[in-house]
Chain A
């Protein structure tokens, strides 16, 4: 099981949980597992940036990025800075 950190805007649909465990060998599998347990996440995840052990999956293999059982997956709302 890998650990997934849920950002505040998505906690309404994860029963208030900040962290949940999820099963799967890739980011895609992990997200599918999450949606099956928290159907309210369906459609919301496309607006999230996903990180595996702190690294953005867009510079890795996107949804095919492999996730080790001891990895932490972070979901964050998409955004950028530079003020």
Chain B
């Protein structure tokens, strides 16, 4: 890892994110630390897996000069892949639902990404379907596919998890958002090696809710890299709870985090209250709040009402 002061490339600044104590939010006697993944080069935890997936494919020979990258994503993974693709000289095409926000499209286009639309009504599943079909038809494409790529959890085993294990002498509970499962699987496995009694806890959005900033996949798709049996806790978080917690982070700790971090904090504080004195909780805050600035919930009286959630109850 390059020193923070002088790095040969932005890619050398991926990872080694800081842990900060949330002393104002933690219940008495328990220490809660937040790992600030928003401090990665493009502002999210996905920089770790984008770099890892591309470098793994280069090492294995699957990704050779002249091949192009393809991934179904309109979110952080696309932006992270765009940075890696730009610096390593690959073209990148992202497949996203036609109703993805203009803000996201614009950012990806600025990075030189080609965008292919998938039917909006099919949601993120449609983007996955179109990308899989394209990858099969066009051999020039290499698709990292974060849901099924072992380099995803490995980046969190070797990076995220190892960094936490080195920084802290005790970890009783790790909380991260449940998306592809990469963070929980990889960092969880690494922390279990150092702290065998650690509780690995997933914060899960209600299906269809935008809380995670990482859309849910419908129709029962379970990412191949996710093994639910390796989770000790798995807790649903509603829009209201996530929005309230992301405001707490900002108001009390000065951390401007993305919406999924609210869900993670909500679960971290619930579990922290169950723990004995002296326990240590680590929560992974996947990104900063910048990409969600145009969302209305920040200053709404009833944040949940402003979110385009599907209403379950």
Tell me the A residues contacting B by CB distance below 8 Å. Answer: 5, 7-8, 18-19, 47, 51, 54-56, 58-59, 74, 76-83
Bound Cα distance from A8 to B216, whole angstroms: 16
**Contact call B234/A83, Cβ cutoff below 8 A:** no
Q: Shortest distance in angstroms between B242's beta carbon and chain A's nearest beta carbon?
A: 13
Chain B residues contacting A76 (CB-CB under 8 Å) are 206-207, 236, 312
Q: Is B66 an interface residue (CB 8 A)?
A: no
Q: Is B219 an interface residue (CB 8 A)?
A: yes
Q: Shortest distance in angstroms between A64's beta carbon and chain B's nearest beta carbon?
A: 16
**Contact call B214/A83, Cβ cutoff below 8 A:** yes
Please name 11 pairs of A and B residues whose Cβ atoms are closer than 8 Å in the assembled complex, sorted by A. A19-B313, A59-B232, A59-B234, A76-B236, A79-B218, A80-B180, A80-B222, A81-B214, A81-B217, A82-B178, A83-B75
Stretch of B18-26, B30-38, B223-231, B248-256 that contacts chain A = B223-231
**Contact call B220/A82, Cβ cutoff below 8 A:** no
Chain A residues contacting B192 (CB-CB under 8 Å) are none
Q: Is B233 an interface residue (CB 8 A)?
A: yes
Q: Is B124 an interface residue (CB 8 A)?
A: yes
Binary contact readout B122-156 vs A (1 if CB under 8 angstroms, 0 otherwise): 00100100000000000000000011000000000
Q: Shortest distance in angstroms between B311's beta carbon and chain A's nearest beta carbon?
A: 9
Binary contact readout B232-244 vs A (1 if CB under 8 angstroms, 0 otherwise): 1111110000000
**Contact call A81/B216, Cβ cutoff below 8 A:** yes
Q: Is B118 an interface residue (CB 8 A)?
A: no
Q: Which residue of B lies closest to A47 (CB)?
A: B220
CB-contact partner of B215 in A5, A18, A56, A83, under 8 A: A83
Bound Cα distance from A79 to B232, whole angstroms: 18
**Contact call B220/A81, Cβ cutoff below 8 A:** no
**Contact call A79/B228, Cβ cutoff below 8 A:** no
Q: Shortest distance in angstroms between B287's beta carbon and chain A's nearest beta carbon?
A: 13
Bound Cα distance from A56 to B222, whole angstroms: 15
**Of B75, B231, B313, most A-chain CB atoms within 10 Å:** B313
CB-contact partner of B312 in A5, A55, A79, A83, under 8 A: A5
Q: Is B189 an interface residue (CB 8 A)?
A: no
**Of A7, A80, A81, most B-chain CB atoms within 10 Å:** A81
Bound Cα distance from A18 to B73, whole angstroms: 33
The 6 closest A-B pairs by CB, nearest first: A82-B179, A82-B180, A56-B234, A81-B216, A83-B215, A78-B220
Bound Cα distance from A56 to B237, whole angstroms: 12
**Of B204, B218, B226, most A-chain CB atoms within 10 Å:** B204
Q: Which residue of B lies closest to A6 (CB)?
A: B313
Binary contact readout B183-224 vs A (1 if CB under 8 angstroms, 0 otherwise): 000000000000000000000111100001011111111110
Bound Cα distance from A56 to B40, whole angstroms: 31
Known contacts A58-B228, A59-B231: does B236 contact A79 (CB below 8 Å)?
Answer: no
Q: Is B181 an interface residue (CB 8 A)?
A: yes
